[in-house]
Structure 1
Amino acid sequence: MIAVLALRFVPARWMTAVVVVGAVVVGLAALAGPPSTSTDSARYAWDGIVQHAGVSPYAHTPQSTALSGLRPDWLFPDKVDGTCDDLKPRFRGLGDGADGHCTAINRPDVTTIYPPMAQLWFAAVRAFVPATAQYLPFQVAGLLLSLVVTVALVVVLRKTGRPTWWAALWAWSPLVASEAVTNSHVDALGAALATAGAVLVAFGRPIWGGIALGAATATKLIPAIVYPPLLGRWRSWWAIPVGIAVFGLLYVPYVLTTGLDVLGYLPGYLSEEGYEDGSRFALVSMVFRGDAATVVVGLAVLLAAFVAWRLSDPSRPWSGEVLMIGVTFLAVTPRYPWYALLLIPFVVLSGRWEWLSIGLAIALRGVWPSTDAYRWWLLAAVAVIVVVTLLRTSRSDWRRWWERLSFRRVEHVR
C-alpha cells in the first residue's frame, strides 16, 4: 500500500509505464514456485487433459479406471511402499488416487465442480502444451490475464478522469500475484470478465456487457452479484437476458454429453462447506443458527442489492459494486483468499480503498484458519469501512442517498 501511495509523486507521463512494468516484475516473481495455498490448478489441468481426449470433465472422477490411460505421472505419481506419505514434500496436497497411485488433485473421488466457462479456460490453457506440462501453463496464463486487467483498469481510469496510479492496487497486489498467478485460480478469469461486463454496461454497451457477465457467471457463479448496481438505466436491463442466454448456451455442449451430471460436485461442495446448514457464515452464525442464518444472509444480500441499485450512478457504478460485493462477502464469509479477486478491480475504479480491509480479512483467514480470529478480523474490517465512510461522506451526500432510497428523487449519486 505504501508503494502504491508513493506513485502519487510519479510524473503523470510515466505513470502507466511504471504501473505496468511493476505488474510484470511482480507477476514474474510469482512464477518462481509451484502453487502454495491450494492445488486447485491440478484439477484444472486434469479437466483440460480429459477434454482434449474428447471426454466430458463431468463424466468421471479423476480416480476412475475409465480414465487411467490419461493420467500423467506428475498428477498421479506411484505410491512408495504402499503410501503417499514420502512424496508429500514434493507433491503438496497429495492424496490417495487409488490403484497404486497418489494424486495431487483435491477430492479425486468426486467429479469436477467448475462451470462450463471455466472448463473452456482449462481446455484453452492446456491446448498448446503436452500432458506432462505441470503447473506453469496456468501460472503463465494467470500472469497474462492479470496484465490484461491492469491495462484495462488504466484505460478505464483515464476515460473516467481518475488517476491511473489506482491501478497499482491490482497490478502490484500480493494477493493477485499469489492467487491469480502462483496458485492460478480461475477466480481471476471470473473477476476479469465481471469487470469487463460492468464497464461495458456502464459505458452503454449492455449487450456486450451481458455477454461478458454471462461468461463470468459461467466461470465461478459468484460474479452474478455484479448485476444490481448496473441496472439504473432501463436499457442496461438488457444485460440480464443476454447474460442468462450466454450462461445457458455455454452449458449446452456439456449437457448434451453428460446430462444433469454437469452440476458436478457443486451440491456436495455446498453441503461440505457448511452453506446448507448455515454453519459457514462466520458473522451471522454468532447470532443465528441453521436455516435462520441462511435466511438472514439471503436478506442481507438482497438489501445490499437494493441499496446498490438505488444509489449507483449507472455510468459510474463502481462504488455500488464495491458495496454489493463487500456486503456479500461479509454475509457469506468465504474462507479462501482468492474470492477477494472479484472485489479489487472495483476498489480500483471507485477509489473506495477502505473496502480492501475485507480482502485482507479473508486473506488472513487463509493464513490463520481460526473462526474466532476470522470474526474479529471481519469486525475490524467493518469498523474501518464505517469510520472511513463517515469521515469522507458529507451531510448533503447522506441526504441525497436517503432521498434516493426513499424514491423521492431520480438523480444518481456518484
Structure 2
Amino acid sequence: MIATTDRAAKSAASVGIDAGVRRHWSVARAWQTNAALILIGVALFLLTRQLVSEYDHFTIGLSGVSGWSCILYLGAALIVLTQPVDRFTFPIIVTVAIACRLVALLGPPFLSSDVYRYVWDGVVQHAHISPYRYVPGDAVLAFLREPFQSVFDKINRRDYAHTIYPPAAQALFYLITWISPTIIFMKSVMVLFEGITMYALVTLLHSLGFRREQTLLYAWCPMLVWEIAGSGHLDSAAMAFIGLALLARFRKHPVLTGIFLGVAILLKLYPLVLLPALYRRGDFKMPAAVATVVAVGYAAYSSVGLLVFGFLGGYVKEEGLATGARYFLLELAQRIPGLQGLSTAAYFVLCAGVFAGIVWWCRRIAGFDGSNRKKPFASDGVAGFLPPAFALASALMFLFSPHYAWYILWLIPFFSLMPNLPILTYVLGFFYLYTTDLAEPGPKMFLANKILYASVFAAFIIQLAFKRWPIHRKLFIQPVVASESL
C-alpha cells in the first residue's frame, strides 16, 4: 500500500529541484492531483447518467458503461495511491461519490428487483404478520396488494418463495417502511449506510497511518454505485456493520465487535466467516456477543417455527449450491482428464481444508491488534486481524463463485484498506464480464469465469513478481505519510 502527501512529495523532489536536477516525471503537485481527479470524477458522473439512460434505450450498452467506468476507476486509483494530495482532495472524492449515487438513486431499479421484496416484507410486518409466514402471492395477503400494487407486481419469486432475508434485515425493513414504504426511500437508506462504511474506513486508515484519500477505492467503485444506489441492495447495511466490527476489533472492544458482527450476520449471513479472524485468543466475550445477537434475532421471529429460515433451502437448490452445479472451480476440475468423477462432497472437503488453513493462520496471529508494528502481518501499519479477515472473505467468494455482482461488494471495503492487484482484477473483471453476453448461465458463464479466474491468477503472479522485483517503486515516487493529510 502506498501513501503520499503534497508536503512529502515536495520534500522528495526538493533535492532534485535545488540541485538543478530535472524533477522525476511521476512527481506531481497536489493541485494537479485534484485537477485530474475532478476530470475523472466528471467523466464517472456522466457515465452514471449514461447508465440510467441505458435502461430505456441502447446507446453503448451496459458493458460499454461498465468498461469505461473500470478504466476511469483504475486511473483514479493509481493517482490517489501514488500522487500528493491536500485538504481539497478528500472533499472532491466525497462530492463525486455523492453525485454519482444521486444520479443512480433517482433512477428505477433495473439490474435487480430484490428491493421490491425489501419493501413488501416491511409492509407485511406493519400489518402485524410475520414476513416468513406467507409468500407474497398468498391470498391471505391480497388486501395489501392494491395499496402497494406497483411493489407487488415486481417481486421476484412472489408465488412460491418465502422471504430469505434474516431477522436483522427484517427489522431494518420494518423501520424503513415505517417512515416511508417506497422504493426510493429504501434505496436512499442503503446509500446512507455507505456513509457509515466510509466513516469506519476513514477512521481505520487514520489509525493505521494511511491517508483518508485512499477511501476513493471504495467511494468511486462503479460496482457500488450500480448495485447499491441503483439497485438498493441490502449488502450496503451488512458492509456498514462489518466496517464497525473491524473498527471495534481494532480498538479492542470485544463486546461491540461481537454485536456489530452479529448484526452483520443477521443481515446477510456470509459475514459469519469473519468470526475466526476477529476472535482474540482467550477472550470469549466477542463470540458470546455474536451468539447472543443471533439467538435474540431469530427468537424475535420464531413464532413461525422453521419458516424463520425462509427460502434459504429453496435458494440453495435453485442456485445449484447443493448439487455443485454452481461452483466454477469444481466444474473446471471435472473437465481435467482423470477428475471427471470428482464429487461435490470432495469439493466441499477441499473448501473445508482451505478455510481450516486460514483459520489456523488466524489462530497463529490471534490477539494482534496492529499496535505493535513489528508483529507479523502488522507491518506497513496493517492491523494483524485484517489480512486473515480479507483472506476468509476472498476465499468464500472464489470457492463458491457467486453469479451476482452484489455478492462480492463486501470485498471492496477490505480492498480499500489493503489494496492489491488480484482483488482489483477480480472486482473489476467480475463487474465488466457480468454486464456482457457472457453473463448468461451455462457455457457462456463458464467461459466468463475462465477469463475472470485466469486474469486473477495472472494478477497474482504479477504481484508476486513486483514483490520480488519492485520495479514499480522506480516508476512512482513514494514519499512517507505526513500526519497533516489525515
Give the aligned partner of residue 296 of structure 2: 249
- What per-residue deviation string (whole Å, max 9, x for no partner) do you get for residues 162-184 of structure 1? 02121011111111111121111
> 2: CA distance between counterparts of 1:143 and 1:252?
29
Give the one of 223, 228, 240 matched to 1:175: 223
Match of 1:195 in 2: 243
The yes-or-no answer on 1:114 pairing with 2:165 is yes
> What CA distance in whole angstroms lies between the structure 1 residues aligned with 2:197 and 2:254?
20
Partner of 1:82: none
Instruction: Verify the 8 A CA contact 2:187 2:232 in the aligned structure 1.
Output: yes
State the identity %.
27
Deviation at 1:190, TM superposition (A): 1.1
Residue 349, structure 1, aligned to residue 417, structure 2:
yes
CA distance in 2, matches of 1:249, 1:73: 33
What secondary structure is seen at the aligned counterpart in 1 of 2:106? coil
Question: Are the aligned partners of 1:20 and 1:150 in contact in 2 as well (CA < 8 Å)?
Answer: no
Amino acid in the other structure paired with 1:12: D
- Deviates further, 194-203 or 291-300: 291-300
Deviations 1:257-310 (A, max 9, x none): 212210111011111111112221101332233322222223223323333443
2:149 to 73, 80, 88: 73
1:49 equivalent in structure 2: 123
Structure-1 residue corresponding to 2:446: 371
The whole-number CA distance in structure 2 between the counterparts of 1:186 and 1:137 is: 13
Q: Which residue of 2 aligns with 1:127?
A: 178
Q: For 1:217 and 1:364, how far apart are their aligned partners in 2?
A: 28
Per mean C-alpha deviation after superposition, the further-off stretch among 50-59 and 154-163 is 154-163
Tell me whether 1:35 sits opposite 2:85 in the alignment. Answer: no
- Please give the alpha-carbon distance, in whole angstroms, between the structure 2 residues aligned to 1:171 and 1:292: 40
In the TM superposition, residue 360 of structure 1 has moved relative to its aligned partner by 2.6
Structure with more relative contact order (C-alpha pairs < 8 Å, separation 6 or more)? 2
SS of 1:13 mapped into structure 2: coil
Q: 1:375-412: per-residue Cα shift (whole Å, max 9, x none)?
A: 321231133124314532699xxxxxxxxxxxxxxxxx
**Larger Rg computed on CA atoms:** 2
Q: CA deviation at 1:335?
A: 1.1
Q: Which moved more, 1:385-394 or 1:339-348?
A: 385-394
Contact 1:297 / 1:331 at 8 angstroms: preserved in 2? yes
1:273 aligned onto 2:322: no
Letter in 1 for 2:132: Y
| Matched residue type, 2:290 | G
In the alignment, what sits opposite 2:61?
Answer: none
Distance 2:390 2:469 in 1: 19
Offset of residue 254 of structure 1: 0.5
What residue number does 1:95 align with?
none
Aligned to 1:402: none
RMSD: 2.1
Residue number in structure 1 paired with 2:355: 301
Query: TM-score, normalising length from structure 1?
Result: 0.83
SS of equivalent to 1:227: helix
Preserved CA contact (<8 Å) 2:186 2:232: yes
Q: Deviations over 1:232-273 (max 9, x none)?
A: 5433x4211210110111111100x21221011101111111
Relative to structure 2, which stretch is displaced further, 367-376 or 4-13? 4-13
Tell me the TM-score normalised to structure 2 length: 0.71
Q: Which amino acid in structure 1 is aligned with residue 175 of structure 2?
A: A
- Determine the C-alpha separation between the residues in 2 that align with 1:193 and 1:394: 38
Matched AA of 1:36: F
Question: Which residue is 1:13 aligned to?
Answer: 87
Shift of 1:362: 3.2
Paired amino acid for 1:227 = L
Cα distance in 2 for residues equivalent to 1:234 and 1:379: 41
Instruction: Show structure 2 runs of 5+ residues with no match.
Output: 1-73, 334-341, 371-382, 440-444, 471-486
Asked if structure 2 preserves the Cα contact closer than 8 Å seen for 1:201 and 1:239, the reply is: no
Q: Specify the code of the residue in structure 1 equivalent to 2:325.
A: S
Matched to 2:93, the amino acid is: V
**Counterpart-to-counterpart distance in 1, 2:88 and 2:203:** 15
Which ranges of structure 1 fall in alignment gaps of 5 or more residues? 77-102, 396-414
1:184 pairs with 2:257: no
User: Residues 29 and 9 of structure 1: is their aligned pair in 2 closer, same or farther, counting only changes over 3 Å?
Assistant: farther
Q: Distance in 2 between matches of 1:6 and 1:300?
A: 35
Rounded Cα–Cα distance in structure 2 between residues aligned with 1:194 and 1:353: 23
Aligned length: 364
Residue of structure 2 equivalent to 1:360: 428
Distance (Å, rounded) in 2 between the aligned partners of 1:352 and 1:302: 23
- CA shift, 1:363, in A, is 2.5
Counterpart AA for 1:24: I
**Native 8 Å contact 2:421 2:459 kept in 1:** no
What is the letter of the counterpart of residue 4 of structure 1?
A
